[in-house]
Amino acid sequence: MRLPLAAASRAAAVVAVAGVVAVLPWLSGRDAAYTVLRARYADREATPEALAAVRAELGLDRGPLGIAVDWLSGVLRGDLGTSWISGRPVAPGTAEAVGVSLTLTLAALAVALVVAALLVVPALRAALAGRPRAGTGVTATVLVALPEFLLATLLLLVGAVWLGWFPPYGWAGPGHLPLPALALGLPAGGLLGRLLATAVTAAATEPWVRTWLLSGHGAPATGAALLRRALPSVAGQVGLVVVGLTGGAVAVEEVFAVPGLGRLTLGAASSQDLPVLQAGLLALLVLAAALGGAVAVLRRALLGGAAAPALPPALPPAAGRRRDRTLALGAALLLATVVVAGLLRDPYASAHPRLAPPSVSLPFGADASGRDLLARVGHGAVSTVGTALLVVAVCTLVGLLLGCLPRLAAGPVEVGNAVPPVVVGLVVGALLGASVPAAALAVGLVSWAPLAAHASALLEEARRAPYVEVLPLLGVGRARLLLVHLLPVVAGPVVRHAALRVPGVALALAALGFLGLGARPPSPEWGLLLAEGSSYVERAPWTVLAPAGALVLVAVAAVSATSLAPRRPHASRAAPARRRPGVGVGGPG
């Protein structure tokens, strides 16, 4: 009974995702009719009759099944519907956006591969010299840490404003490609490089490496074999990183005004233009599935004829590096200082000159409304981290609960691991409107998955303990076995794991705030601060640097904290999906 239930759960999860996309207009209900009425017939009163007329015109009155069937059959015919706002067909615009996003994604992949190669080479050389070492150093840590929306803003500041080498906005010629590709590719490459370097280092401790080197296989041959040994074990996570590019693209396209899928979808979500949103989501999901499929094919090619589980995974050695620990502690301390200093000041009063530069009395400067940026960053920490704590707490409970039903939850866990929070944020934002609870819900909807995967792996391990296997014979029923004997064993490690995810969740929340899918002005949320500041980046760079600095500190703390997590012997299955904190993906692994 093992496989069918898990397979059914996977199929159900995919159907559920497709179903949610298909019935989006119905889910949003009256809210959408109101939006459309205002967009198209600004002069008409929002009377119940007028709203009903709009609903009938949009086909919202036909119930979920009718809407879903209409939309799905339209998709099969290549008809993606018409925009609610502009009244024009959706398909041509979507096709153009797909072309743009594909170009950008491929360029970003190229960047990522180069970065990953640069990070792996030192690890490979050390391994071949017989001194395998853990980790990839500070460069990779910082690269992995920067979420795309932040990196994009920083690149815009440096590459387009200060250096003036690249055009800041648009998508007209090849000159427009490098900055977005770098913003998207650098963090992905950093994570890929880190994963691969760790896997290579782990593989290098296996006895065959020494045998090869001693028996006269050259360093190149051994190096190639090492890579081939290491790659399959991280292929699953590589797949997640590549799929995560689709989420990261939303923020990057927004920052650089690239007319790709992400920007199209984001615009549609903010204006509740659901047919456009549906088409964009469909294209994003297809793109993600294609990327994931390509990685799967590559993995198969690498493994040759061997079935996936037949090869023991090369596991990273348990190594918390002192430098990572120092980095995490340092970042946390610095951040705490800023937050405490900021909390003592008033974040809402416009008591200073507009865009006042940093000074002794105003260490971070003032924003466009003359508000104290230090105060806003400090208070923003409380709301962002507070929300993150709440989200993580709920996700821990859900993760523990669903971890107890591993086969039933298999599909949702995989979907939750793969779907970037930004994509969920788009859907939730379009349905509920932008707000902190909506952003929290969106991030929570995917953040439970790695915790559930971890919990179910730990449970399976605990179930195999001899003192648990014997319990049914001693009269312990199923419920009691789970609640009294298994959960207490599993809860500790899962809660510790959840704590490590708090910074990553905070970054995901900030990303949604940055995109206008979370907190609303004037609340001092970090992502929102960054978005507000980016309009003045040329005149007053400090408006960006203050929130960006805080976010970088959180990100560095997040990524270095993950290397402190103890690794478990069953990490091949237990290893929580590694994700980059930030826009593209959820928390750190």
Sites of contact with other proteins (CB under 8 A): 465-470, 472-478, 480, 485
From first CA to last CA, the distance across the chain in angstroms is 31
Are 382 and 343 spatial neighbours (Cβ–Cβ below 8 Å)?
Answer: yes
| Min CB(5)–other proteins separation in Å | 18
| Min CB(475)–other proteins separation in Å | 3
Are 302 and 232 spatial neighbours (Cβ–Cβ below 8 Å)?
Answer: yes
| Min CB(318)–other proteins separation in Å | 22
Written as one string, the DSSP assignment of 123-186 is HHHHHHTT---SS-HHHHHHHHHS-HHHHHHHHIIIIIIIS--S-SS--SSGGGSHHHHHHHHH
Are 47 and 65 spatial neighbours (Cβ–Cβ below 8 Å)?
Answer: no
* Residue 125 or 480 having the CB closest to other proteins: 480
CA dihedral (68, 73, 79, 84) in degrees, to 10, reads -20
| Min CB(467)–other proteins separation in Å | 4
* Residue 307 or 473 having the CB closest to other proteins: 473
| Min CB(463)–other proteins separation in Å | 13
Choose among 154, 424, 156: nearest CA to 266: 424
Tokens read off for 542? 């400090």
* Residue 323 or 464 having the CB closest to other proteins: 464
If 0-12 CB within 10 Å is exposed, 13-18 middle and 19+ buried, where does residue 479 land? exposed
If 0-12 CB within 10 Å is exposed, 13-18 middle and 19+ buried, where does residue 539 land? exposed
* Residue 45 or 469 having the CB closest to other proteins: 469
* Residue 5 or 564 having the CB closest to other proteins: 5
What is the rounded CA–CA span in Å between residue 524 and residue 507?
A: 15
Choose among 544, 527, 526: nearest CA to 535: 544
Tokens read off for 587? 């928390």
* Residue 110 or 484 having the CB closest to other proteins: 484
| Min CB(489)–other proteins separation in Å | 9
| Min CB(1)–other proteins separation in Å | 12
* Residue 357 or 472 having the CB closest to other proteins: 472
* Residue 494 or 517 having the CB closest to other proteins: 494
Q: At what angle do helices 526-534 and 148-155 cross, to 10 degrees?
A: 20
Tokens read off for 286? 């297809």
Q: Cis peptide before 89, with omega less than 30 degrees from 0?
A: no
| Min CB(6)–other proteins separation in Å | 18
* Residue 228 or 480 having the CB closest to other proteins: 480
| Min CB(482)–other proteins separation in Å | 13
Residues sharing a CB contact under 8 Å with residue 44, sequence separation 6 or more, in sequence order: 37, 50
* Residue 225 or 468 having the CB closest to other proteins: 468
Written as one string, the DSSP assignment of 392-436 is HHHHHHHHHHHHTSHHHHHHHHHHHHHS-HHHHHHHHHHHH-S-H
Written as one string, the DSSP assignment of 14-77 is HHHHHHHHHTHHHHHTHHHHHHHHHHH-TTS---HHHHHHHHHHHTGGGHHHHHHHHHHHHHHT
| Min CB(465)–other proteins separation in Å | 8
| Min CB(58)–other proteins separation in Å | 55
Report the chain's C-alpha Rg in angstroms: 25
* Residue 163 or 310 having the CB closest to other proteins: 310
Residue type, 295: V
